[in-house]
Chain A
Amino acid sequence: MSDHKTMTLTLIVWRQKGPSDPGKFETYTAKGITEHHSFLEMLDCVNEDLIYSGKEPIVFDHDCREGICGMCSQVINGLAHGGRDRTTVCQLHMRTFKDGDTIYIEPWRARAFPIIKDLVCDRTALDTIVQAGAYVSCHTGGVPDGNAILIPKPAADEAMDAAECVGCGACVAGCPNGAAMLFTGAKVSQFAVIPQGKAEAAERVKALTDAMTECGFGNCTNHYECQTACPKGINVKFIARMNREFLKAQFS
């Protein structure tokens, strides 16, 4: 709103023309920003200024802008999604910054997520993990009534806790090992705790962990950075659950 004070900020943004370009930081000024701008709306304004001056706007992934599609993916001042508790970049608001701040903006950096351009990286490795078996192999049609198999509320709630993952990859970006253990752990757990998923639990955990390794993700050394970075608050207990399922699978 116009009656609010505006901020001027210095942005130091990672620019990279393509996968093989070495890339570098460029400095820009964001002017006329209010506390009500979301972080991405602030970048929209900077891009408008760049276009007027005939320069290439900053390329970044975004879509729903309400924190649920998992498309936005920026490391802000060294922290995935900017480090505000349970918040994606698109839901980060400029009231968390102050006039005169300098902000560093980078893409997700991980071996399994090659950079495509500027702040955009390739996260198809997460799809590959899901394709390896993060599902119940049921057919369309021919399934029992929804209430035929009861699910105790605690189990349903735990599955839901795991299922909240939006697949953004912040856990990988936050991890010093570039591991996708939190993502994969959440998928394994979501199905392991409910009756529909139990039949394939052993096969699933083996397939998913294999896919994780093949995609070039690292391993867990208990830094818990993933949980801190996660905009949906996915708990590291799901990594423990995955390890347990993995161990169980060796004997099944």
Chain B
Amino acid sequence: MILDGKCPTGPIQQTWDKHRFDLKLVNPANKRKYNVIVVGTGLAGGAAAASLGELGYNVQAFCYQDSPRRAHSIAAQGGINAAKNYPNDGDSIYRLFYDTIKGGDFRAREADVWRLAQVSNNIIDQCVAQGVPFARDYAGYLDNRSFGGAQVSRTFYARGQTGQQLLLGAYSALSRQIKLGTVKMYNRREMLDLVVVDGVARGITVRNLITGEMESYAADAVCLATGGYVNVFYLSTNAMGCSVTAAWKAHKKGAYFANPCYTQIHPTCIPQAGDYQSKLTLMSESLRNDGRCWVPKKKEDCGKHPNEVPEEDRDYYLERKYPSFGNLAPRDIASRAAKEQCDDGRGVGPGGRGVYLDFSTSIKRVGADTIKERYGNLFEMYEKITDEDGYKRPMRMYPAPHYSMGGLWVDYNLMSNIPGLFVLGEANFSVHGANRLGASALMQGLADGYFVIPYTIGGYLATVKPGEVKADHDEFKNSAADVKAEQEKLLSINGNKTVFEFMRELGGLMWENCGMARTKQSLEINLKKIPALREDFWKNVKVTGTGAEFNQQLENAGRTADFFEFAELMCRDAYHRNESCGGHFREEYQDQGEAERDDANFCYVGAWEFKGVGKEPELHKEPLKFDNVHLAVRSYK
């Protein structure tokens, strides 16, 4: 089937304005008759719940953490982009649009990206009004810095914790609506199923994580803002609770999963210390503004103290390979370059899996105090984890899974192929194409939550009668029973391997064979091994305790079970896409080490339809058209 993204046509500059006018409206007096569910309270979910509540809808918001303020958006460090052009350095909406399309390696929809660039400016205004303490200069104006993949300074930031500050902004707006009674907040609830009645999304089944009870919630629309799935690699920078579960359950109920093979491996993370460690800590890309990446030119120097390697024996590989972008090359390119150096035997640190990020040149140029003011908390974080002083010796870095560009398929209105199911933020696939540029995840989350969904959901709700299905409908009972049965099964196996062990094995397969570089052979290995390991999981996993209590092992077991099914789809997608683009690098398709796209055959969104566990999913395509940005080889040289 050919999918229709329902993108507005005409001059791109007018698409969003025209579309907003064309959307139907819900009368203010009628809004309170509609119930909307928002799952996840990160930037996208928090902003959506607050904004929809303020518009007058009855909102029910859910998060698995003990407070909506803890969603993993909070961990973003570097910043948020906007096309404000405050520094007068040549930025514009068009340039942000262009950079994002190019950065995504021409695998995103033009109209969606245009809208993102257009509303980026509103986001900054909104956050400032909320009291978000962005960095300012001495005259009191907002400060900007540069970030990977761009040649202008368009990134706004709040010390090294922009994510936390933006999330606290959304959380404060959400808290205000909770107080006003327009949003009812449910903490420590995990969504375990989407309830679909006659092909329309009507609600969710959640587990109360404290009591273990199954709860049913009905609504006129369901918004998923449940983040990404890179914990499928075991090793990742995601929070421990991040999972594919909510999106996967929706997929199993009919929602298409688009481009699952597009995952981002962030170039600057602190290397793993031992296999007990799954959580890796990311160090903001902003460090590459002043830090220079290098490895020794000679293999015999790799074991030396870095400060003893003379200048002429250092290979500043990013500056060498990409002279115009240098250390600010986009993430996919910087990650692969790091891997290349390590594969060449010139990596540093344990196992030779590391490169140096060196600040000595910048410290000489601007002084240690200035570097401390810019990145003080990051140096502190590095020291806490590694016990090394980044001011005195270069930091060690290695790439790690960080973000998923793929996600549930949505149209221009952020609605999935299931009517009534909307997907926001990282959970959808829409704007980043095959690679996301730095400082644009926060931008997308807030754009979707504050400035897109409040309009587009109205266009849908205006066409449906409120409250048609209630939570006592049979489908809700069936859904709760199915979820419960799956949990009982997990608890009854009582095998000999822990959930953690299975996740480590699955992650190992994914990282090895479907990670930074993939081949036909490596993916074939995974397509054989994953189903076998999944079978083993359902025979041999050991989960302690019962379902009727606070049971973290059971929570993890459920998430791991979903990762097992999802991992196969991810490999299948990577296997079918016979090209390299952005974060999807197939070794067979490269031109002198750079990703080689195949626009003639793969210039489309690949959206998969679930056909049963272990069964071949069906591929639907949405062709991508580029009317405004010329399809070209992406070059940062």
| A residues adjacent to B (C-beta < 8 A) | 1-2, 18, 34, 36-38, 41, 44-45, 48, 50-52, 54-57, 59, 61-71, 86-87, 91, 93, 95, 116-117, 120, 122-124, 126-127, 130-141, 143-147, 149-153, 156-157, 159-160, 163-164, 166-167, 190-191, 194, 196-197
Spot the interface stretch: B90-98, B164-172, B430-438.
B164-172
Q: Which of B66, B139, B385 contacts A61 (CB 8 A)?
A: B66
Residues in chain B near residue A93, CB distance under 8 A: 384-385, 387
The answer to whether A48 touches B175 (Cβ under 8 A) is no
- Which residues of B lie under 8 Å from residue A18 when comparing CB positions? 549
- Does B244 count as interface, using CB distance less than 8 angstroms? no
- Binary contact track B530-550/A, C-beta < 8 Å → 1, others 0: 000000000000101100011
Does B126 have its Cβ within 8 Å of any Cβ on chain A? yes
- Residue of A34, A51, A54, A70 near B69 (CB, 8 A) is A70
Contact A41 B72 (CB under 8 A): no
Whether A151 contacts B136 by the Cβ 8 Å rule is yes
Q: Is there contact, CB below 8 Å, between A37 and B276?
A: yes
Task: Write the nearest CB–CB distance from B567 to chain A, whole angstroms.
Answer: 22
Asked if B197 is at the interface (CB within 8 A of a chain A CB), the reply is no
Task: Judge whether B317 is part of the interface by a CB distance below 8 angstroms.
Answer: no
CB within 8 A of B74: which of A69, A141, A163? A69
Q: Is the CB of A144 within 8 A of B273?
A: no
Contact present for B140 and A152 (CB under 8 Å) = yes
CB–CB B74/A68 < 8 A? yes
Min CB distance, A223 to chain B, in Å?
A: 26
Interface string of B38-62 (1 = CB under 8 A from A): 0000000001001100100000000
Given the known inter-chain contacts A69-B70, A194-B133, please indicate yes or no for A44 contacting B75, CB distance below 8 A: no
Instruction: Kindly list chain A residues whose C-beta atoms are within 8 Å of the C-beta of B380.
Output: 86
**Distance (whole angstroms) from the CB of B527 to the closest CB of chain A:** 29
Question: How far in angstroms is the closest Cβ of chain A from B591?
Answer: 37
* Contacting residue for A150 out of B124, B126, B141, CB 8 A: B141
B67 within 8 A of A: yes
Taking the closest CB of chain B, its distance from the CB of A224, in whole angstroms, is 22
B131 at the interface (CB under 8 A from A): yes
Q: How far is the CA of A1 from the CA of B276 in the complex (A)?
A: 10
Measured between beta carbons, the chain A residues less than 8 angstroms from B239 are 63-65, 69
Say which residue of A117, A126, A149 sits within 8 Å of B67 (CB atoms): A126
Q: Are B498 and A163 in contact (CB under 8 A)?
A: no
**Distance of A71 Cα from B498 Cα, bound (Å):** 24
Residue-wise interface mask of B (266-296) relative to A, using a CB-CB cutoff of 8 A (1 in contact, 0 not): 0000000110110101100000000000000
Name the CB-closest residue of A to B126: A143
- Interface flags, B198-210, vs A, CB<8A=1, else 0: 0000000000001
List B contacts of A150 (CB < 8 A): 139-141
Q: Which 9 residue pairs spanning A and B have beta carbons closest together?
A: A150-B140, A135-B172, A143-B129, A36-B273, A160-B133, A159-B133, A65-B279, A140-B51, A146-B128
Q: Which of A65, A117, A191 has the most CB of B within 10 A?
A: A65
Taking a contact as CB atoms under 8 Å apart, the answer to whether A69 and B72 are in contact is yes
- Whole-angstrom distance between the Cβ of B179 and the nearest chain A Cβ: 4
- Which listed residue, B68, B387, B500, touches A48 by the CB 8 Å rule? B500
* Residue contact B142 to A146, C-beta cutoff 8 Å: yes
Candidates B66, B185, B454; contact of A123 at CB < 8 Å = B66
617-635 of chain B: CB within 8 A of chain A: none
Contact A51 B70 (CB under 8 A): no
CB < 8 Å A-B pair total: 215
Task: Please give the distance in Å from A13's CB to the nearest CB on chain B.
Answer: 15
Q: Is the CB of B72 within 8 A of A1?
A: no
In addition to A143-B128, A147-B86, 12 A-B residue pairs with Cβ atoms within 8 Å of each other are: A38-B277, A59-B552, A66-B282, A71-B70, A127-B67, A135-B131, A146-B127, A153-B137, A159-B133, A160-B133, A163-B168, A190-B131
Residues of B within 8 A of A132 (CB): 179
For the complex, what is the distance from the CA of A52 to the CA of B496, rounded to whole Å?
7
Query: How close is A116's CB to chain B, nearest CB, in angstroms?
Result: 6
User: Which residues in B have their C-beta under 8 angstroms from that of A153?
Assistant: 136-138, 140
Complex alpha-carbon distance, A156 and B130, angstroms: 13
Which B-chain residue is minimally distant from A144 (CB atoms)? Answer: B125
B552→A196 contact, CB < 8 A: no
CB distance from A214 to the nearest CB of B (A): 13
A-B contact pairs, 16 of them (CB 8 A): A37-B277, A61-B66, A63-B65, A66-B279, A68-B163, A69-B239, A117-B550, A138-B130, A140-B126, A141-B126, A141-B451, A146-B125, A146-B127, A147-B86, A157-B133, A167-B70
Say yes or no for B187: interface residue by CB 8 A criterion. Answer: yes
Q: Which residues of A contact B75 (CB under 8 A)?
A: 64, 66, 68-69
Among A136, A140, A197: residue with most chain B CB under 10 A: A140
A41 partner residues in chain B, CB cutoff 8 A: 276-277
Taking a contact as CB atoms closer than 8 A, the residue among A70, A120, A136 that contacts B131 in the complex is A136
**A26–B210 CA distance with the chains assembled, in angstroms:** 22
Cross-chain contact of B158 among A44, A151, A160 (Cβ < 8 A): A160
A2 CB contacts on chain B under 8 angstroms: 274
Within 8 A of A (CB), among B471-509: 498, 500-501
* Pair A159/B131 contact, Cβ less than 8 Å: yes
B403 within 8 A of A: no
B493 shortest CB reach to chain A, Å: 13
Known: A48-B498, A116-B550, A130-B171. A69 touches B131 (CB 8 A): no
Q: Which of B124, B172, B385 contacts A136 (CB under 8 A)?
A: B172
The docked-state distance in angstroms from the alpha carbon of A70 to that of B167 is 13
Distance of A196 Cα from B384 Cα, bound (Å):
36
Q: Are A122 and B66 in contact (CB under 8 A)?
A: yes
Contacts of A1 in B (CB 8 A): 273-274, 350
Asked if B122 is at the interface of the complex by the 8 Å CB criterion, the answer is: yes
In the assembled complex, the CB of A15 is this many whole angstroms from the nearest CB of chain B, namely 13
Which of B134, B158, B178, B544 makes the CB contact (< 8 A) with A56? Answer: B544
Q: Which residues of A contact B142 (CB under 8 A)?
A: 146-147
Residues of A within 8 A of B249 (CB): none
Measured in the bound complex, the distance between the Cα atoms of B165 and A54 in whole Å is 43
Q: Could you tell me the distance between the alpha carbons of A70 and B66 in the complex, rounded to whole angstroms? A: 10
Write the nearest CB–CB distance from A148 to chain B, whole angstroms.
8
Give the CA-CA distance A63 to B239 in the complex, in Å: 5
Query: Taking each of A62, A65, A146, A149, which has the highest tally of chain B beta carbons within 10 Å of its own beta carbon?
Result: A146
Shortest beta-carbon distance from A180 to chain B in Å: 14
Within the complex, which residue of B159, B276, B277 is in contact with A160, where a contact is CB–CB below 8 Å?
A: B159
B residues near A157, Cβ cutoff 8 Å: 133
Contact B125 A145 (CB under 8 A): yes
B70/A63 in contact, CB under 8 A: yes
Question: B342: CB under 8 A from chain A?
Answer: no
Query: Is B84 in contact with chain A by the CB < 8 A criterion?
Result: yes
Q: Say how far A193's CB is from chain B's closest CB, in angstroms.
A: 9
Please give the distance in Å from B240's CB to the nearest CB on chain A: 6
Judge if B381 is at the interface, Cβ distance under 8 Å.
yes
Q: Do B158 and A134 touch across chains, with their CB atoms under 8 A apart?
A: no
Closest chain A residue, CB of each to CB of B349 = A1
CA A144 to CA B274, docked complex, whole Å: 50
User: Which among B74, B136, B454, B544 is the interface contact of A156 at CB below 8 angstroms?
Assistant: B136
**B368 at the A/B interface (Cβ < 8 Å)?**
no
Q: A64-B74, A153-B136 are in contact. Are A51 and B544 (CB under 8 A)?
A: yes
Closest B-chain residue to A164, C-beta based?
A: B161
Residues of chain A contacted by B363 (CB below 8 angstroms):
none
CB distance from A199 to the nearest CB of B (A): 11
Taken together as a complex, chains A and B put the C-alpha atoms of A171 and B307 apart, in Å, by: 41
| Cross-chain contact of B124 among A122, A146, A151 (Cβ < 8 A) | A146
From B127, B138, B175, B276, contact of A127 by CB (8 A):
B175
Asked whether, in the complex, the Cβ of B65 is within 8 Å of the Cβ of A156, the reply is no
What distance in Å separates the Cβ of B49 from its nearest Cβ neighbour in chain A? 11
Please determine whether B384 and A91 come into contact, CB atoms closer than 8 angstroms: yes
Q: Which of B104-156 contact A (CB under 8 A)?
A: 122, 124-131, 133-142
Tell me the bound Cα distance from A137 to B128 in angstroms: 12
